[in-house]
């Protein structure tokens, strides 16, 4: 089908699949409030997360992520299903009929943010100047990756995920950001490289489009804004600017991250919506994401690679990595990332190259 037809059908199906979320009044103890000098226990107007909703187990079973993939000159819908039971369900049969068979269906495992790592890291040491792919994180977050360097007006910052730099909304503007990250031995203040400057809050009740944040760099910290250590020659070995997906079949991307270093992959779906991602505080739903599959000898990204930037063969930043799944779709799983133009727009920032 044509791209516009695929988008229209995807929008119709998402509207049918997505359940409503209602706000409720709750009382809870919120440690985050202590840091704002607010009462320890306060009545808050909040909304239930997807995982806290009545009937949440059923919600997870029937949640289907829907995106678009390209096959030759045509575009198909890309369905990502976590529960094998859905493959025998009336729901899936109805979707396949609606697409007249122009659909790619793949099983996926549990998708989670990539802020934790149990693998030997390749960029975990104290690195000065700072480089793309180095270990970093909020002072209370295990570890993530430096994705790039950016400017918010005249303020020089490092770019990573919100869950890496802002601790899943629990961080405060001005909190310390360290390099290396906490899991790699980084400590405050000796390893402080900046402070939390701006972040896009994660929503547990409405669709998210990015997981992104900026940390203002300390004035005395040296940095290299373009070096991509280990990236193959065809990707220039340096960050050259920003780019967009060409939506070609199997478009090749590269990244440098804290845990898996330099890796290569291919785009398997784009504009993926209704994607459920697990965080420490609950499940969040993401829309309009990019899916990447490894084409090397290991995973494209693993725990600790959150915040790494995916670049194309010209060295242009294309997406910001934030989540992945360990099994279900293949030996090395799938990686999920937000389009870089949306990331920079939400942060009102521009890349430094």
Q: Does 185 reside within a domain?
A: no
Q: Does 52 reside within a domain?
A: yes
Q: Count how many domains the chain has.
A: 1
pLDDT band at 44 (very low <50, low <70, confident <90, very high): very low
Q: Does 173 reside within a domain?
A: no
CA atoms within 13 A on the CB side of 281: 16
Q: How far is CA 28 from CA 23, 32, 40, 50, 84, in A?
A: 15, 11, 9, 18, 36
pLDDT beyond 70 at 22: no
CA atoms within 13 A on the CB side of 51: 12
> What is the model's pLDDT at position 27?
32
Q: Mean per-residue pLDDT for 66-93?
A: 87
The DSSP call for residue 20 is P
Place of tokens 């133009």: 341
For residue 52, give its domain range: 3-107
Per the model's pLDDT, the better-predicted residue between 156 and 56 turns out to be 156
> What is the model's pLDDT at position 332?
64
The DSSP call for residue 348 is T
> What is the model's pLDDT at position 117?
55
Q: List pLDDT tens digits, range 189-207.
A: 999 999 999 999 999 999 9
Q: List pLDDT tens digits, range 203-238.
A: 999 999 999 999 999 999 999 999 998 886 656 689
Find the farthest-apart pair of alpha carbons in the chain and give their distance in angstroms, rounded: 60
Per the model's pLDDT, the better-predicted residue between 160 and 325 turns out to be 160
Q: Does 68 reside within a domain?
A: yes
Q: List pLDDT tens digits, range 88-147.
A: 788 888 888 888 889 999 988 888 998 765 554 567 889 999 999 999 999 999 999 999
pLDDT beyond 50 at 57: no
Dihedral sign of CA atoms 139, 32, 170, 63 in order: positive
The phi and psi torsions of 331 (rounded to 5 degrees) equal: -65, -40
Contact 63, 274 (CB under 8 A): yes
pLDDT beyond 60 at 61: no
> What is the model's pLDDT at position 245?
87
> What is the model's pLDDT at position 58?
40
Residue 277, both tokens: 């991602």
The dihedral formed by the CA atoms of 94, 282, 138 and 185, expressed in degrees to the nearest 10: -100
Q: Mean per-residue pLDDT for 80-85?
A: 80
Q: Does 102 reside within a domain?
A: yes
Q: How many residues does the chain have?
A: 353
Distance separating alpha carbons of residues 341 and 336, to the nearest angstrom: 15
Contact 291, 80 (CB under 8 A): yes
DSSP string, 277-343: EEETTEEEEE-SEEEEEE-SSS-S--TT-TTPEEE-TTSEEEEEEEEEESSSSSSS-EEEEEEHHHH
Contact 278, 109 (CB under 8 A): no
pLDDT beyond 90 at 341: yes
pLDDT band at 178 (very low <50, low <70, confident <90, very high): very high
Share of the chain above pLDDT 70, in %: 82
Mean pLDDT, all residues of the chain: 84
> What is the model's pLDDT at position 19?
61
| Other CB atoms within 10 A of residue 131 CB | 19
> What is the model's pLDDT at position 212?
98
Q: Does 146 reside within a domain?
A: no
Contact 332, 298 (CB under 8 A): yes
Q: Does 125 reside within a domain?
A: no
Q: Does 292 reside within a domain?
A: no
Residue 329, both tokens: 């779709």
């Amino acid at each position: 089908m044509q791209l516009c037809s695929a988008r229209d059908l995807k929008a119709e199906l998402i509207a049918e699949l997505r359940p409503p979320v209602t706000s409720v009044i709750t009382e809870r103890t919120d440690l985050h409030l202590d840091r704002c000098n607010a009462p320890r226990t306060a009545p808050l107007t909040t909304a239930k997360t997807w995982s806290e909703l009545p009937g949440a187990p059923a919600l997870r079973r029937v949640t289907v992520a829907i995106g678009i993939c390209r096959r030759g000159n045509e575009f198909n819908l890309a369905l990502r299903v976590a529960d094998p039971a859905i493959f025998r369900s009336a729901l899936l049969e109805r979707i396949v009929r609606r697409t007249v068979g122009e659909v790619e269906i793949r099983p996926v495992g549990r998708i989670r943010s990539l802020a934790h790592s149990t693998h030997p890291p390749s960029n975990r040491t104290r690195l000065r100047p700072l480089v793309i792919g180095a270990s970093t994180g909020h002072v209370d977050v295990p570890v993530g990756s430096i994705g790039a360097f950016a400017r918010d007006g005249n303020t020089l910052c490092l770019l990573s995920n919100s869950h890496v730099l802002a601790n899943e909304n629990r961080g405060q503007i001005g909190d310390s950001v360290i390099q290396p990250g906490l899991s790699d031995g980084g400590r405050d203040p000796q390893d402080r490289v900046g402070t939390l400057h701006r972040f896009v809050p994660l929503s547990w009740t409405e669709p998210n489009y990015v997981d992104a944040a900026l940390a203002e760099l300390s004035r005395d910290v040296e940095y290299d804004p373009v070096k991509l250590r280990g990236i193959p020659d065809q990707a220039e070995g340096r960050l050259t600017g920003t780019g967009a997906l060409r939506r070609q079949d199997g478009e090749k991307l590269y990244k440098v991250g804290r845990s898996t270093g330099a890796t290569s992959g291919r785009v398997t779906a784009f504009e993926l919506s209704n994607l459920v991602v697990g965080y420490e505080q609950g499940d969040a739903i993401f829309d309009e994401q990019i899916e990447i599959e490894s084409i090397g000898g290991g995973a494209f990204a693993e725990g600790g690679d959150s915040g790494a930037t995916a670049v194309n063969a010209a060295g242009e930043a294309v997406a910001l990595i934030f989540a992945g799944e360990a099994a279900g779709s293949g030996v090395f799983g799938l990686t999920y990332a937000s389009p870089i133009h949306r990331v920079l727009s939400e942060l009102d920032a521009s890349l430094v190259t």
